A and B are shown apart, each in its own frame.
Chain A
Amino acid sequence: MANYSTNEFKGGLKIMMDGEPCSILENEMVKPGKGQAFNRVRIRKLISGKVLEKTFKSGESVEGADVMDTDLAYLYTDGEFWHFMNNETFEQIAADEKALGDAGKWLVENDVCTITLWNGNPIAVAPPNFVELEITETDPGLKGDTAGTGGKPATLSTGAVVRVPLFVQIGEVIKVDTRNGEYVSRVK
């Protein structure tokens, strides 16, 4: 993997740090008028998810991380692994629970997810921004309420729980924003 100098640092660059692939969030040069320049960098560790600050001497190089995002369709889970497939090459990849993180509750068969690979192995799974899921459980709610004030909890087919307006009923399919877990609309 290539090395990157501090001048190449920018948001999104993937580098190795303490043996873990990391993504640069922010990079700021700090330099006294007389003296050595430094780069103060905010980094997210891609496996642990931890965000930390690291300071480099400007001009230093760090090892790049072989990290790439790939779009794969979700197939099924065998309980231990979650299987995804490249719709063009039909190549399959299995992610474990650690890589899956919170994504499990948004996985719908055939939905295309973004899988982050490090040296070819999945380390993170991002579901589509919006998914459509059926409501399996929710209070019947008040008849005639259409304003949707307050809302109520609803359990979806994947086990995810979201707040929905009172008028939404069991058996209906709703659209959810997976980035904040919020109800968007009913799906006709």
Chain B
Amino acid sequence: MLADLWQPSAQVNTLAKRAAILRTIREFFYQRHVMEVDTPSLSAASVTDVHLASFQTQFIGPGFAKGLPLYLQTSPEFAMKRLLAAGSGAIYQICKAFRNEEAGSHHNPEFTMLEWYRPGFDEFALMDEINELMQLILNVPPAERLSYQEAFTQALGLDPLNATLEQLQALACAQGFAGIAKHETHRDTLLQLLFCMKVEPTIGQQKPCFIYYFPASQAALASICEHDTRVAGRFELYYQNMELANGFNELTDAQEQAKRFTEDNACRKANNLTQVPMDTRLIAALEHGLPQCAGVALGVDRLVMLATQKNTIKEVIAFDVDRA
């Protein structure tokens, strides 16, 4: 059985194009004096986000006879922020990220992420830089920009920031999602359902599209906007039905960050999910001082899919999980 799938899931000429793209990315950052870094894949803490599942393992060896629990990182964000707090300046990383429970045409449990941070940038300045990288690699026209509220309202005729739970349920039922919507009491789940299934197909078809000012309830590690506390300094990049990148005007407030982690874990407990130890080293770094910065994580495999016009992630990675 195992011997059946020894061959790569990607064609070798696709892997050659992938290698060329990686080289272009490295050159892009070299020219801009953004330093390449390499942070651990295994860490003692991990993400508390209810919708992310980390792989867990144990280090057994010198000093840890009874085992040190370690998590494979779902993104290099925490370690990179610790470097920023230590005075690294602008940094980028191309690394493997690991997410349990995810596989499909756009998902593989381990995938390649490009993540970078720009001290002194806000999210809009960072979008400009991402835009340049997209044009360089995908040869596409400049991206358009829409706020989450604009995109949602255009596609579905309902203001997502002011809609009540009942309005969102009724809209989701009318859009063919009664099976989920009837019993769903979380506004964000309904918003994510409608955004994924009904808004995404309407944006970023001809050219890439940035969606900014996500609802504050989906801020993750972004700061809340001062001009409108209903939204956060979080943005995403979409192109041709692909979610390509997620970025933040980074939250620098240690207390607020610790509060969000604690709330995530409370939510995990309520949903019978395993709680994840809060990354106290990240909190300590934020207390020391994270420079105001914007950061973004971009899915390299998906970028290669777009550049090579492949429909599945396994066609752009050497060995997908079925052949791992």
Contacts and interface: CB of A to CB of B under 8 A. Distances in A.
A58 B193 CA distance: 11
Interface in B259-299: 297, 299
A23 to B, nearest CB: 18
B218 A34 contact: yes
Contact of A57 (B176, B180, B234, B246): B180
Interface of A: 7, 28-38, 40, 53-58
A29 B192 contact: no
A35 B188 contact: yes
Contacts of B246: 33-34
B179 A35 contact: no
Contacts of B297: 33
Contacts of B234: 34
Given A32-B192, A32-B195, A55-B193, A37 B180 contact: no
Contacts of A55: 176-177, 179-180, 193, 197
Contacts of A36: 51, 188-189, 192-193
Interface in B162-179: 176-177, 179
B236 interface: yes
B51 A37 contact: yes
Nearest to A30: B196
B310 to A, nearest CB: 16
Question: What 7 A-B pairs are tightest by C-beta distance, nearest first?
Answer: A29-B104, A35-B192, A33-B246, A36-B189, A36-B192, A34-B220, A35-B51
B107 A31 contact: yes
Contacts of A53: 176
A6 to B, nearest CB: 10
Interface of B: 49, 51, 101-105, 107, 176-177, 179-180, 184, 188-189, 192-193, 195-197, 218, 220, 234, 236, 243, 246, 297, 299
Nearest to A58: B101
B interface: dominant SS: mixed
A54 B179 contact: yes
Candidate in A33, A55, A57, A58 with the most chain B CB atoms within 10 angstroms: A33
28 contacts: A28-B105, A29-B103, A30-B196, A30-B197, A31-B51, A31-B107, A32-B196, A32-B243, A33-B246, A33-B297, A34-B49, A35-B51, A35-B189, A35-B192, A35-B218, A36-B192, A36-B193, A37-B51, A37-B101, A38-B196, A53-B176, A54-B179, A55-B177, A55-B180, A56-B179, A57-B184, A57-B189, A58-B101
Residue of A30, A34, A54 with highest tally of chain B CB at under 10 A: A34
A99 B234 CA distance: 54
Contacts of A37: 51, 101-102
A134 B302 CA distance: 56
Nearest to A57: B180
A33 B102 CA distance: 10
Given A30-B104, A32-B243, A33-B246, 10 more contacts: A30-B197, A32-B192, A32-B196, A34-B49, A35-B196, A36-B188, A38-B196, A56-B180, A57-B180, A58-B101
A31 B102 contact: yes
A54 B220 CA distance: 29
Nearest to B103: A29
Contacts of A56: 179-180
Contact of A33 (B179, B197, B243): B243
